[in-house]
A and B are shown apart, each in its own frame.
Chain A
Amino acid sequence: MTVTARPGDPAITPALVAEHGLTSDEYDRLVAMLGRTPTFTELGIVSALWSEHCSYKHSRPLLKTLPTTAPYVLQGPGENAGVIAIGHGLAIAFKIESHNHPSAVEPYQGAATGVGGILRDVFTMGARPIALLNSLRFGSLDSARVRYLFAGCVKGIGDYGNCVGIPTVAGEVVFDPAYEGNPLVNAMCVGLLKEEELMLAVAQGVGNPIIAVGARTGRDGIHGASFASEDLSDASEAKRPRVQVGDPFTEKLLLEASLELIHSGHIVAIQDMGAAGLVSSSAEMAARGDVGVVIDTLKVPAREEGMSPYELLLSESQERMLVVARVGREDHVRAILEKWDLTAAVIGEVIAEPVYRVVEGDRVVAEFPGIRLVTDCPMYTPEARESDDIKRRRAENVHAIAERAEEANPMWTLLELLASPTIASKRWVYQQYDHTVRTGTVVGPGGDAAVVRIRHTDTAIALKTDCNGRYAFLDPREGARIAVAEAARNVACTGGRPMAITNNLNFGNPKRPEVYYQLKEAVAGMGEACLALGTPVTGGNVSLYNENPAGAVYPTPVVGMVGLIDSLAHVTRSHFSTDGDSIVLLGNNTDEIGASEYLQRIHNVVAGAPPHCDLAAERALIDALLQAIQAGVVRSAHDCADGGLAVALAECVMMDRATPTGAHVDLTHWAGLPVRALLFGEAQARVVVSTPDPDAVLASAAEHGVPAAIIGTVGAASGLLSMRIGERQLTVSVAELADTYHEAIPRIMQRSASAQDVALASDSVV
């Protein structure tokens, strides 16, 4: 069929091509594929599908190196979400996704629609969402703009998830000047399904109708995908209209209607119309099924008159789905949607001819051969070269940094670290998230990992997001290994066997050799850790171009980990609970302070090598810990991470503010280490355990070759945390630790409720 330009469409000029973000090579490739000049509609389609956000053109060759299989992996990367089997005929679908760029210019809607998108990715697999997580990064809270972004993102995430009724159970929030202009907002969703109800987004069956479902299509979010594929600049603010607007009530209707559709047997495939909207969902479903499709844009339910095919195809209006139904079942599909007050319109069909075709009534406005629209996207392997500045920073002798006078009392340092917003309690955040709805949350936010029970079984899943961007900045390979290892350790601390991960790779502009080096090294490190810990990658998201004129964010390879707890009896909490319990340290203390929160917070230094990550030791630690937990001898287990051993012990005595305890520990065995390294160094593969039966814990550790030592006793009566190191006795009141840790963020947010913050925030009240 002949493709004709629409009257009124702009002529294709080099300037227009450049405006669409295509390089001249990419444009030539397009012309060669078509054998002619593209129409305006075709140019728009390709600019979206070949954007970084949709095509992964700078990351896919690297992602292919990640381990993705295990006997229990039912669906690996390439679908809307990954799926793993958890026994009892049940499976977990899960995925993480970024909404960084939109959140940078419109935090409330940007973050909210991030949650909406990831929910849809999971329920389109046939899974009912049972938990949400997130991973957030902001600049320093000293800045009014950052406080506005932080408050807006948290409210957006909360309002959306709360309304849909999915508990937000865990996450991480990090504050660092490196994220000043580019906040990172990664949202993860976890859903439960019966194995046999797994639904894929693979178009098939010639003659089957393609149906647009849910909200009508408007002019919002056009070019959102390409916006997310460029650096932020002062001009980004003007692109605020590219940010979509969320409607969680419609999402809730769509969720229920979609699950009903999937279970009805009337449909063969379903996919969210997310980034690049209708065009990406239809082209991807066609490509997965290797079939032809035709879409008639005149049939797409639109919010306003006169929308062009270009706009209808590229709109990122939220809460829409694309469904391939069985031929003849259109009325059944319609009836299900009407029950939920949603519309359904047949807008195209699967065809025998190998072509991706868009028509507007009688006029063909776009046509691509076969599935080449998806498969012909160029792939890039740019030059990778480490930045000299980072090499220098890593090599810096951080041990030579002189202590500040106040550090004569290490308890001053401890309180300073507990007041760091990155370490301090995030209750101000998660209190705004409904984490108890659906009555599955056994361990909610604030612990090592969240635990959500699987109804009608005795099992539960453990969930956690993790990453230390400063580690990845100073050594991307080691940083990514640690991200996986720490997430696994957190999951194991709750009694969960780490099963699989979803990843969110947040990096700068890959065309810069030093950024591509970071990406390449981080993916390599992540692969090593996933292999060593037996946790394949089942999918994820890559977000590049997270930079602004002031520079790139820290490379931030976020890991979303799912673990399985074999019995509710083995669910373990992070904090001490019982007087007289022994405190056992699994793992060893070292003289590593590079890349630590201590250096950043106390000395304003970002330098040194991150702590060494020994993957065999991590695996042994997890095995020893799980064996002890399953033997019933572990009362609590808490990962030793940001801020080191002293912060971990402080958290153990007061992270649960309602039931504070106290502890006396003796670290004389490590008196040979500098005190700051012993207390605040971030050596990996360490867990603080409390136990009524220390011998059994030590035996488990010995069996797996894990160093372990009894370091103290839990005791609430004194109201103190005291630490002996040789002749030195350090003591601090638990009440002071608790006040510092729990009130740090509320105090900052309260103090800053200035006129300016209020004015900024009022933008986002909906």
Chain B
Amino acid sequence: MKFGIVTFPGSNGDYDAYQSVVEGLGEKAVYLWHKDHDLQHVDVVILPGGFSYGDYLRAGAIARFSPIMREVVAHAERGAPVLAICNGFQIACEAGLLPGALLRNASLKFVCAPVSLRVENASSNFTSAYGANQLITLPIAHGDGRYSADEETLDRLEGDGRVAFRYAPDALQAAESYNPNGSMRDIAGILNAGGNVLGMMPHPERAIDSVLGSADGLPIIESILHRVAA
């Protein structure tokens, strides 16, 4: 299977995404340059973290107009998988691939920390390798991660099982607020209606090796492999 990792000029999670696929699972990966129109026949697109075009205006607001994003949107519309992480999630929302928006963290501060998540939907293309309601730990690192949408959209996301991950307290976090950014209904990751686009603020690609503290991100890529290869 071939993964394509989009490199915007300000991407900084592209390297980690590449390594997670190549080192973590031994699969093929290529970088997709933002000025290109060629998706190089990849099976899966990853929109990585970073600051796409500086994001001084609004995270992802410019990236959606880039040449490569036209192709990524078409790829998603064909039902092919797109994993949008952190800045990628912001871009996917701006590009209309996912509903809602990511606003400035409620604390108004950038937050880098491991967070506890509950797998809300363990049957999607991206999460089937997890157990239902499994608690996992992934790192977050963002300043604009407060997921927001209107009530109707939130109800629909929940009703359709499209909330993939929620911030959740674990035994050790009880003393602290477990929702690190003030996201509505504790939402950390969502699926599109077709189930082929996952957007999430936490970084699974930074959690593929226990030497770095957690390998809880690996099942996401494994899930994609099982489903897409099947």
Contact = CB atoms under 8 A, between A and B. Distances in A.
A52 B70 CA distance: 53
B141 interface: yes
A432 B172 contact: no
Chain B at the A interface: SS class: mixed
A159 to B, nearest CB: 7
B141 A163 contact: no
B9 A340 contact: yes
Interface in A431-456: 431-442, 453
Given A431-B112, A658-B172, A438 B15 contact: yes
B16 A435 contact: no
A345 interface: no
Given A340-B9, A437-B13, A442-B212, A249 B54 contact: yes
Nearest to B138: A436
Contacts of B19: 439
Interface in B30-71: 49-51, 53-56
Nearest to A739: B175
A339 to B, nearest CB: 8
Contacts of B143: 159, 162
Interface stretch (B118-126, B203-211, B218-226): B203-211
Most buried by A among B19, B112, B141: B112
B108 to A, nearest CB: 9
Interface string A303-333: 0000000000000000000000000000000
Contacts of B110: 155, 158-159, 162, 432-434
Contacts of B173: 658
A147 interface: no
Contacts of A250: 54
Given A434-B141, A436-B141, A659-B172, A165 B12 contact: yes
A256 B203 CA distance: 23
B113 A252 contact: no
Interface in B131-179: 139, 141, 143, 172-173
A164 interface: yes
Given A249-B51, A252-B12, A437 B109 contact: no
A247 B50 CA distance: 15
A467 to B, nearest CB: 25
A253 interface: yes
B85 to A, nearest CB: 12
Given A165-B12, A252-B12, A253-B9, A437 B141 contact: yes
A449 B188 CA distance: 31
Contacts of A407: none
Nearest to A164: B12
B17 to A, nearest CB: 10
Contacts of B79: none
Nearest to B51: A163
A249 B56 contact: yes
B194 interface: no
B10 interface: yes
A442 B206 CA distance: 11
Interface string A9-47: 000000000000000000000000000000000000000
B111 interface: yes
Contacts of A431: 109, 111-113
Nearest to B13: A437
Interface residues of A, number: 34
A249 B10 contact: yes
A436 B86 CA distance: 13
A113 to B, nearest CB: 16
Interface range on chain B: under 10, 10 to 19, 20 to 34, or 35 or more? Answer: 20 to 34
Contacts of B20: 439
Interface string A147-160: 00000000100110
B209 A439 contact: yes
Contacts of B208: 439
B146 to A, nearest CB: 16
A294 B211 CA distance: 52
B10 A437 contact: no
A453 B109 contact: no
Contacts, number: 88
A568 B209 CA distance: 13
A155 B113 CA distance: 16
A432 B9 contact: no
A341 interface: yes
B55 to A, nearest CB: 8
B206 A436 contact: yes
B12 A437 contact: yes
A162 B16 CA distance: 14
Contact of B139 (A158, A252, A436, A657): A436
A436 B12 contact: no
Nearest to B15: A438
A167 B53 CA distance: 19
B54 A163 contact: yes
Contact of A435 (B112, B172, B205): B112
A510 B142 CA distance: 43
A163 B52 CA distance: 9
Nearest to A659: B172
Contacts of B10: 163, 249, 252-253
A88 B111 CA distance: 35
Contacts of A438: 12, 15-16
Nearest to A257: B9
A432 B212 contact: no
Contact of A442 (B12, B16, B211): B211
A164 B205 CA distance: 18
Most buried by A among B10, B53, B56: B10
Contacts of B109: 155, 431-432
B111 A432 contact: yes
Contacts of A163: 10, 12, 51, 54-55
A437 B206 contact: yes
Interface in B2-20: 9-13, 15-16, 19-20
Contact of B16 (A158, A437, A657): A437
A477 B111 CA distance: 40
A568 B112 CA distance: 24
Contact of A252 (B9, B56, B212): B9
A490 B111 CA distance: 26
A340 B51 CA distance: 15
A165 B113 contact: no
Interface string A575-596: 0000000000000000000000
B107 to A, nearest CB: 9
Contacts of A164: 12
A123 to B, nearest CB: 14
A440 B20 CA distance: 12
A437 B203 CA distance: 9
B212 to A, nearest CB: 6
Given A431-B111, A433-B112, A435-B112, A249 B53 contact: yes
Contacts of B16: 437-439
Interface in A243-260: 247-250, 252-253, 256
Interface in A224-253: 247-250, 252-253
A291 B63 CA distance: 45
Contacts of B12: 163-165, 252, 437-438
Contacts of A435: 112
Contacts of B11: 165
Interface in A645-673: 657-659
Nearest to B52: A249
Given A163-B51, A163-B54, A436 B9 contact: no
- The 7 lowest CB-CB distance pairs between A and B, nearest first, are A165-B12, A249-B54, A434-B141, A436-B139, A658-B172, A163-B51, A439-B16
15 contacts: A155-B109, A162-B143, A163-B12, A164-B12, A248-B51, A248-B54, A249-B55, A252-B10, A431-B113, A434-B141, A435-B112, A438-B16, A439-B19, A441-B212, A659-B172
Given A253-B10, A437-B206, A439-B20, 15 more contacts: A159-B110, A162-B110, A163-B10, A249-B51, A249-B56, A252-B9, A253-B9, A431-B111, A431-B112, A432-B109, A436-B203, A437-B13, A437-B16, A439-B212, A658-B172
